[in-house]
Structure 1
């Protein structure tokens, strides 16, 4: 009768030791600001979820968009580099003034990329990483796909401010086959972890496509570290300009697969 409690005690001790040996789980979701850290070498991390956004929901030309399985796969190739693969499954609903409704459903183009750890945080010098990625032509639904390669790069910075407090920010640029269709992006996020499991973040971000107005948005959310390698997340936000979504919500999880 004493073997069962002993077995669970040994299992709990082994799990605790493994967790202590594991690096902290750092994810690139649910906020828009990419982290400045890479996945540990030879580890696979899955980050996925569902997102819903509404555009002009108070007038006749309402529009809703849902992203199912907003999935990013991250694989640590070296201590300073990871490989990235991502895509979304999109459902788009349009309502026109005449009352008719049109729906689109399909996958977004497949994105491939790499993240490089450039600088380790030391004093006032932040963690710095570079993310470079490509969107493969003609790999998604015809409505969402393009026949041109889209190339983007993002510089990611992260500061540890105080105990439990952190600040991150990104600056990026996407080249979509022509300079008049290119996009400048930025984001700034502040985060506070009041326990080892719970983190709250508040974020502002935006984008400027050539010849179009700025698209400014803000969001906030929570993450909960259920296990040392498994995290749940929820976020919600709103657009701040006329071309932005009225509101959006998101939920999902991140899992770093054990060895």
Structure 2
């Protein structure tokens, strides 16, 4: 099974900047429970430098998540990760969706189901990832998000993945988060990691971020920078919402 814990290098955290329309799935590992919105496009890109246990190094330039809202509660997703190996070819491809499960869209607790199909490389099998995302917003200037998911590759044992992130706003534009996340796989030692980082809201629809992570019971470490952009409302959408 792939031990690169950045198959989905993206997450919860911009929800702490309460007034903004841009809610991203990076830089933390916890996927947000928020979809992008009807007919909205959102692109989240980054550079990831990671060293795994055993000294294996990997530079991903870039990691890209493309999100498109087909309704107010459903988005389609395409995740591409490029590697410095093989002449900067595509390292992994995922396609999937995120579905908001809330009946009351104004609830401070949000729940979403995220499913991805993991397309195989030459020597790998087809995989599937299902994940439940829950977030609690604006609890004394604190946003809490957590995920629980299961990833399975054909003809292989599956793995349980978890994460919990705590975020807070340092100003109207700057946010900070800390997080723990990991993976539990049958017959192997559970993996636990820690990461932290900052976001900066350049404009209502443009955000940059920086983050780093360390293994708690393993030798992994990473550094990452990224940028996220969201399409603005067109005139038709604005008239409908006013």
Please give the TM-score of this superposition, normalised by the length of structure 2.
0.82
- The within-5 A match list for 1:69-218 is 69-91=62-84, 106-119=89-102, 120=104, 126-138=109-121, 142=122, 146=124, 148-178=125-155, 180-218=156-194
Q: Which residue of 1 aligns with 2:27?
A: 30
Alignment RMSD (CA, Å): 2.1
What count of residue pairs does the alignment treat as equivalent?
Answer: 214
1:255 maps onto 2:229 in alignment? yes
Indicate the structure (1 or 2) with the bigger Cα radius of gyration. 1
- Do the aligned residues in 2 keep the contact of 1:71 with 1:87 (CA within 8 Å)? yes
Q: How has the CA–CA distance of structure 1 residues 78 and 23 changed in structure 2, closer, same or farther, with 3 Å as cutoff?
A: farther
Deviation at 1:163, TM superposition (A): 4.1
Q: How has the CA–CA distance of structure 1 residues 132 and 105 changed in structure 2, closer, same or farther, with 3 Å as cutoff?
A: same
Q: Secondary structure at the match of 1:195?
A: coil
Please give the TM-score of this superposition, normalised by the length of structure 1.
0.77
Q: For structure 1, which runs of at least 5 residues remain unmatched after alignment?
A: 1-21, 93-102
Q: For structure 2, which runs of at least 5 residues remain unmatched after alignment?
A: 1-18, 235-242
Q: Separation in 2 of the partners of 1:122 and 1:227?
A: 24
Deviation at 1:149, TM superposition (A): 1.7
Q: Separation in 2 of the partners of 1:251 and 1:62?
A: 21
Q: Secondary structure at the match of 2:58?
A: strand
Deviation at 1:211, TM superposition (A): 1.8
- Do the aligned residues in 2 keep the contact of 1:43 with 1:257 (CA within 8 Å)? yes
Deviation at 1:62, TM superposition (A): 2.9
Q: How has the CA–CA distance of structure 1 residues 39 and 52 changed in structure 2, closer, same or farther, with 3 Å as cutoff?
A: same
Q: Secondary structure at the match of 2:97?
A: strand
Q: Which residue of 1 aligns with 2:240?
A: none
